[in-house]
């Protein structure tokens, strides 16, 4: 089966995800259903065409682009004054570089083998893009929490990025190759075994399954000392207190009788310090207009909730390593009074780093691409999650997705874990990624491809170490570029 055949059969056999569903609504084959045996046969056929051991191989393509040129190409659509902060953050360590290098790895994966078994991808499934947040029922759940790069594509791309992230992070935390290999093996094994379990479940049961912090996450620590497991749980417990009232106390102060964001430039810069006079007024008018378009992306009940708040103030925010330079604003809204705040984050949605290699999203609005991908993959999504499009000050049209800024969100302090704790965390990530893929891909075919043995696990453990070497070389290239003045980095921010 050639690559085109894989792609065609993927569209026919995979349960259609957001991009496929939107693109295929007029395709009479889009609603085709196949028996379990046919789906198993497809997975086994893909394995015969592309053996699992092939995934162990990594070597740069003969004409692999210069990593600094790729980063500079990506910077062209971002706020130029913030790019030195991005480079400064990526310089902190090879793992920080890896977190900011999703575009580089997407190109590398595109040059390698593909199974043709597609699912909705996170697109940047490294271990720090998993975390805890409050579901609409206010219970804490563990899930993927970053979807800027989401797009439909080969399921193994996400698994490879997750595996490589453990190898890179393990080096940073001082673990030897044997310990790092054990982390990756546990992570990928959990993914494979979870996918096999999901393949036997009813569709609705897969959809309802989630990883509650208070209960099921402890199962991944069954081989971890109780003291270490309590440490992991204690690190994510403060998520309950990371809410709008805490954000109000930390980020805002009264000014002339009205709440205003406290300036902490360049990380948080109030709107009046970013834009002078008339430009500020124009931008606030734009924000209010975008609130209206954003409102239309919400279900009717959430739209009604949003309308019960009034706009108060906004500030520009510098976001995480991979997104530094994209436009991001935090907005303060008030309900009944100052004890009833709602903080929203408006984050620019640019084309996914996967699009040059997998084709454009079926969604013309990239904010919608992010939101629909998140809803497809995540166990439970923010009730205020939506999107909007606005004409910026410079006249360019920009896409944004919008979510609550703090809603009981937390990440584990990975650097404080020992090897056993990281292995337990890896199992939680592997299970979570499998659940996300099982909702959007053909879980029966993927499980059949992976099989019951550990061939795929061992292959990815080998791949992860080899790719960590490549990441180290790319990190050194950035250091050389900064030292030679090719790019400018602002450190310590």
Rounded mean pLDDT, 269-296:
87
Classify 397 as helix, strand or coil.
strand
Instruction: List strand residue ranges (DSSP E) for 373-475, in order.
Output: 386-391, 397-404
407-430 pLDDT, tens digit per residue, is 767 777 888 889 999 999 999 999
Q: Say yes or no to pLDDT of 287 above 90.
A: no
Q: How far apart are CA 210 and CA 257, in angstroms?
A: 44
417-467 pLDDT, tens digit per residue, is 899 999 999 999 999 999 999 999 999 999 999 999 999 999 999 999 999
Rounded mean pLDDT, 294-314:
95
Q: Say yes or no to pLDDT of 22 above 80.
A: no
Q: Say yes or no to pLDDT of 3 above 50.
A: no
The residue to which tokens 């997407």 are assigned: 106
Q: What is the pLDDT of residue 222?
A: 52
CB contact burial 332-359 (16+ within 10 A = b; e otherwise) = bbbeeeeeebbbbbbbbbbebbbbebbe
Most confident listed range (7-11, 30-34, 48-52, 404-408): 48-52
β-partners of residue 144 are: 130
Q: Say yes or no to pLDDT of 295 above 50.
A: yes
The token duo for 272 is 């009046």
Rounded mean pLDDT, 146-166:
98
The residue to which tokens 């045996």 are assigned: 37
Q: What is the pLDDT of residue 5?
A: 37
Rounded mean pLDDT, 330-342:
95
Q: What is the pLDDT of residue 279?
A: 82
Q: What is the pLDDT of residue 133?
A: 87
Q: What is the pLDDT of residue 18?
A: 42
Q: How far apart are CA 171 and CA 173, in angstroms?
A: 5
Q: Say yes or no to pLDDT of 166 above 60.
A: yes
Cα angle: 208, vertex 145, 58; to 5 degrees: 105
Q: What is the pLDDT of residue 392?
A: 62
Rounded mean pLDDT, 226-252:
69
Q: How far apart are CA 420 and CA 132, in angstroms?
A: 20
Between 231 and 381, name the one with better pLDDT. Answer: 381
Confidence of residue 338 (pLDDT cuts 50, 70, 90): very high
Q: What is the pLDDT of residue 65?
A: 96
Q: Mean pLDDT score of the chain, rounded to an integer?
A: 89
Q: Say yes or no to pLDDT of 278 above 90.
A: no
Q: What is the pLDDT of residue 280?
A: 85
Between 219 and 456, name the one with better pLDDT. Answer: 456
């Amino acid at each position: 089966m050639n690559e085109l055949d894989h792609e065609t059969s993927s569209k026919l056999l995979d349960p259609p995800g957001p991009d496929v569903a939107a693109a295929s609504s007029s395709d009479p084959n889009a609603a085709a259903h196949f028996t379990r045996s046919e789906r198993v046969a497809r997975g086994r056929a893909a394995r015969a065409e592309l053996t699992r051991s092939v995934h162990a191989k990594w070597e740069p393509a003969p004409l692999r682009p210069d990593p600094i040129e790729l980063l500079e190409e990506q910077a062209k659509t971002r706020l130029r004054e913030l790019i030195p902060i991005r480079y400064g953050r990526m310089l902190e360590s090879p793992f920080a570089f890896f977190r900011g290098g999703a575009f580089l790895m997407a190109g590398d994966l595109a040059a390698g083998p593909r199974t043709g078994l597609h699912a909705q991808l996170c697109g940047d499934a490294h271990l720090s893009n998993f975390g805890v947040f409050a579901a609409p029922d206010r219970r804490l759940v563990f899930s993927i929490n970053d979807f800027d790069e989401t797009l439909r594509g080969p399921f193994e791309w996400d698994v490879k990025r997750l595996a490589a992230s453990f190898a890179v992070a393990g080096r940073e935390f001082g673990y030897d190759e044997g310990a790092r290999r054990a982390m990756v093996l546990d992570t990928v094994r959990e993914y494979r075994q979870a996918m096999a379990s999901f393949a036997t479940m009813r569709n609705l049961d897969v959809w309802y399954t989630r990883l509650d912090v208070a209960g099921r996450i402890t199962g991944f620590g069954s081989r971890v000392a109780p003291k270490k497991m309590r440490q992991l749980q204690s690190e994510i417990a403060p998520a309950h207190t990371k809410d709008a009232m805490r954000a109000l106390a930390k980020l805002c102060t009264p000014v002339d009788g009205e709440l205003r964001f406290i300036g902490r430039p360049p990380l948080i810069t109030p709107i009046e310090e970013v834009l002078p006079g008339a430009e500020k007024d124009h931008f606030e008018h734009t924000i209010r207009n975008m609130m209206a378009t954003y409102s239309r992306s919400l279900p009717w009940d959430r739209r009604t909730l949003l309308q019960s708040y009034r706009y108060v103030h906004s500030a520009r925010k510098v976001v995480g390593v991979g997104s530094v330079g994209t436009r991001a604003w935090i907005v303060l809204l008030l309900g009944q009074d100052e004890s009833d705040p709602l903080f929203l984050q408006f984050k620019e949605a640019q084309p996914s780093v996967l699009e040059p290699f997998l084709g454009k999203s079926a969604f013309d609005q990239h904010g919608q691409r992010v939101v629909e991908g998140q809803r497809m993959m995540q166990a439970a999504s923010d009730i205020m999650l939506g999107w909007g499009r606005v004409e910026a000050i410079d006249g360019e049209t920009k896409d944004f997705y919008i979510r609550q800024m703090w809603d009981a969100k937390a990440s584990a302090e990975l650097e404080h874990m020992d090897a056993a704790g990281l292995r337990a965390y890896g199992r939680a990530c592997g299970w979570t990624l499998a659940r996300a893929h099982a909702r959007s891909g053909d879980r029966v075919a993927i499980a059949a491809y992976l099989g019951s043995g550990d061939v795929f696990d061992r292959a990815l453990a080998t791949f992860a170490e080899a790719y960590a070497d490549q990441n180290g070389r790319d990190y050194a290239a950035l250091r050389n570029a900064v030292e030679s003045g090719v790019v400018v980095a602002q450190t310590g921010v």
